[in-house]
C-alpha cells in the first residue's frame, strides 16, 4: 500500500532529500524571487494595497516582518498578505501550474524567513519544496479548475505555501501533516472576482493563511490526517468533473524536481496570461504590415475554452477590468503597439480610440487542450483590413516569456527596472537587482528589506 497522500507530502516536506536536483531548481526559484519583488514594487501604490494597509493598520499587531516597498513592519502573516497582494495587483507576476506560484510562495517565505533569520539559500530551497507539493496537487487534476470557478493560485497556493513555510521552519512530519490539512480548509478564491481588487487578495490570503496554518499546527490544533485525499476532502471538493487522481502515489524525481522540468513563465504584459499569445501575434502582424487602427476592419482571435472563461470583460472601462479582456489586449496592440504598465491605466483604457476597437474583436474557442489544461493548445490571430487584405499569425503555442520561450537576462533585468520605476517606492533598482541576483549568498534575509 502506498503512503496516503497527506502523510507522504508531509514526510517529503520534513525530509525532502533533493540535494542532487536542488541547484537547478534554486536557479529557477531565484527568477521567481526577482520577478515577484519587481511586481510587488510596481503594484505597491495600487488602491487594493492602500485599502488593505489601512485595514491592517487599524487592527494593530506585532511588527515582525517588513513590507518590500517601505520597510514598514507588520506581523509575519500580515506582511506576507500585503506583499503578495502588491505582487499580484497588476497581474504582472510569473505563471506556472495554471497559477501564479511565486506571488504566493515568495512573500510567504520572505516574511517567515525574516522571522527565522533564514539564509537566501534556505528560502530558495523552501520555494522548491513548496512548488513540488503544488505541482503534485495540480497534476492530479485533468480538468481546469477555472471552469469550476476556482482560482488555483489561492486554492493550491495555500497548501503549497504552508508546505514551504513548514520546511523553512524545519517542522517534523506529523506537524507538517496537520498544517497541510489546516491549509486545505483555509483555501479559497473565485474566478468570478477576476478583474476586481479581490483577485490579488486571493494571493495575499493564500500567503497569510499558509502561515496561520503552520502556527496553529505548531500549537496543537488538530486536523484530519487525510484531508487532501479523503473522498470528502480538498482535491475531491475542487475537482470540476470528479476525475481527480486520488490514488497515484506521491513520487519525487531526485535528479530533476518539477520546478526545473515545468519551469516559470515570466510575463511581458501586465494582463491575464490568457491574453499573452494573442498579444504576441497581434503586435507581430501589426508591426510587420504597418497597420493603423483605421486600416483594420476586424480581428478574429482563437483561444482555449478555459482562457475565455477568465476573460470576462468585453467592454472594460477600468485598468482592473482591462486586465481580463481579450478585446482590450487587441485594442491596445492596435492603438499603442504595446501592452505595458502605461496602457493598463484607467486613462488609457477609457480613451475613445481604444474603446472604438473593442467591437472589431471576435472570439472563437478551441477545446483542444495543451499540457496546461487552463490553456488551449495554441492561440491564433487573424486580421482583416478595410481594403480586403487579410493576415494570419498561424498557431502560437508559447508566448514570449514562457518557460519554453524564455526572456533573455537583459529583458528580465529591464522588466525589474521598469517595475521599480513605475511603483515609485524610491528603491535603487539597479542595486536591489544585483543583491537579488546573488540571493543564494545572503546569510540572513533580514538585511535585505528591513
pLDDT tens series, the chain, 450 aa: 799 999 999 999 999 999 999 999 999 999 999 999 999 999 999 999 999 999 999 998 899 999 999 989 999 999 999 999 999 999 999 999 999 999 999 999 999 999 999 999 999 999 999 999 999 999 999 999 999 999 999 999 999 999 999 999 999 999 999 999 999 999 999 999 999 999 999 999 999 999 999 999 999 999 999 999 999 999 999 999 999 999 999 999 999 999 999 999 999 999 999 999 999 999 999 999 999 999 999 999 999 999 999 999 999 999 999 999 999 999 999 999 999 999 999 999 999 999 999 999 999 999 887 878 789 999 999 999 999 999 999 999 999 999 999 999 999 999 999 999 999 988 899 999 999 999 999 999 998 986
Q: Which residues contact 143 (CB under 8 A, 6 or more apart)?
A: 239, 240, 241, 243, 373
Q: Which three cell numbers stand for residue 124?
A: 530558495
Q: Are 257 and 22 in contact (CB under 8 A)?
A: yes
From CA 381, how far away is CA 288, in angstroms rounded? 14
Q: Full-prediction pTM beyond 0.85? A: yes
From CA 439, how far away is CA 81, in angstroms rounded? 22
Quote the pLDDT of residue 374.
Answer: 83
Q: Which of 239, 256, 265 is nearest to 375 (CA)?
A: 265
List strand residue ranges (DSSP E) for 145-262, in order. none
The size of the chain, in residues, is 450
Domains of the chain: 5-267+419-449 (1.10.4100.10), 273-392 (3.30.1330.120)
- End-to-end alpha-carbon separation of the chain, Å? 48
Q: Which residues contact 301 (CB under 8 A, 6 or more apart)?
A: 278, 282, 326, 330, 361, 362, 363, 364, 379, 380, 381, 382
Quote the pLDDT of residue 372.
Answer: 80
Q: Which three cell numbers stand for residue 112?
A: 517567515
Q: Which three cell numbers stand for residue 395?
A: 498557431
Quote the pLDDT of residue 368.
Answer: 85
What Rg, from alpha-carbon coordinates, does the chain have? 21
Amino acid at each position: 500500500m502506498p503512503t496516503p497522500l497527506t502523510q507522504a507530502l508531509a514526510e517529503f516536506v520534513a525530509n525532502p532529500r533533493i540535494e542532487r536536483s536542488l541547484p537547478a531548481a534554486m536557479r529557477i526559484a531565484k527568477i521567481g524571487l526577482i520577478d515577484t519583488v519587481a511586481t510587488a514594487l510596481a503594484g505597491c501604490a495600487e488602491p487594493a494595497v492602500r485599502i488593505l494597509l489601512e485595514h491592517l493598520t487599524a487592527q494593530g499587531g506585532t511588527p515582525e516582518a517588513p513590507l518590500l516597498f517601505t520597510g514598514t513592519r507588520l506581523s509575519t502573516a500580515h506582511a506576507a498578505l500585503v506583499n503578495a497582494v502588491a505582487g499580484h495587483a497588476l497581474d504582472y507576476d510569473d505563471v506556472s501550474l495554471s497559477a501564479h506560484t511565486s506571488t504566493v510562495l515568495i512573500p510567504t517565505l520572505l516574511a517567515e524567513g525574516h522571522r527565522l533569520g533564514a539564509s537566501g539559500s534556505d528560502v530558495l530551497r523552501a520555494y522548491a519544496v513548496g512548488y513540488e507539493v503544488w505541482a503534485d496537487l495540480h497534476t492530479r487534476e485533468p480538468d481546469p479548475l477555472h471552469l469550476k470557478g476556482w482560482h488555483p493560485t489561492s486554492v493550491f497556493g495555500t497548501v503549497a505555501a504552508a508546505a514551504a513555510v513548514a520546511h523553512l521552519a524545519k517542522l517534523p512530519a506529523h506537524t507538517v501533516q496537520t498544517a497541510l490539512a489546516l491549509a486545505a480548509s483555509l483555501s479559497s478564491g473565485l474566478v468570478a472576482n477576476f478583474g476586481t481588487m479581490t483577485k490579488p487578495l486571493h494571493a495575499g490570503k493564500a500567503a497569510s493563511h499558509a502561515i496561520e496554518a503552520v502556527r496553529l499546527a505548531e500549537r496543537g490544533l488538530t486536523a484530519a490526517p487525510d484531508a487532501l485525499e479523503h473522498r470528502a476532502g480538498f482535491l475531491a471538493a475542487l475537482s470540476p468533473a470528479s476525475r481527480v487522481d486520488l490514488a497515484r502515489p506521491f513520487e519525487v524525481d531526485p535528479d530533476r524536481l518539477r520546478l526545473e522540468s515545468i519551469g516559470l513563465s515570466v510575463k511581458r504584459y501586465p494582463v491575464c496570461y490568457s491574453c499573452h499569445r494573442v498579444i504576441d501575434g497581434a503586435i507581430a502582424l501589426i508591426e510587420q504590415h504597418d497597420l493603423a487602427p483605421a486600416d483594420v476592419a476586424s480581428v478574429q482571435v482563437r483561444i482555449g475554452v478555459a482562457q475565455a472563461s477568465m476573460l470576462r470583460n468585453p467592454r472594460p472601462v477600468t485598468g482592473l477590468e482591462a486586465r481580463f479582456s481579450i478585446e482590450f489586449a487587441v485594442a491596445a496592440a492596435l492603438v499603442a503597439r504595446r501592452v505595458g504598465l502605461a496602457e493598463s491605466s484607467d486613462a488609457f483604457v477609457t480613451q475613445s480610440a481604444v474603446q472604438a476597437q473593442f467591437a472589431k474583436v471576435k472570439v472563437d474557442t478551441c477545446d483542444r487542450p495543451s499540457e496546461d489544461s487552463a490553456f488551449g493548445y495554441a492561440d491564433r490571430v487573424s486580421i482583416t483590413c478595410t481594403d480586403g487584405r487579410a493576415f494570419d499569425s498561424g498557431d502560437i503555442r508559447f508566448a514570449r516569456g514562457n518557460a519554453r520561450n524564455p526572456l533573455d537576462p537583459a529583458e528580465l533585468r529591464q522588466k525589474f527596472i521598469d517595475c521599480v520605476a513605475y511603483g515609485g517606492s524610491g528603491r535603487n533598482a539597479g542595486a536591489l537587482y544585483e543583491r537579488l541576483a546573488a540571493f543564494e549568498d545572503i546569510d540572513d534575509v533580514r538585511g535585505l528589506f528591513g
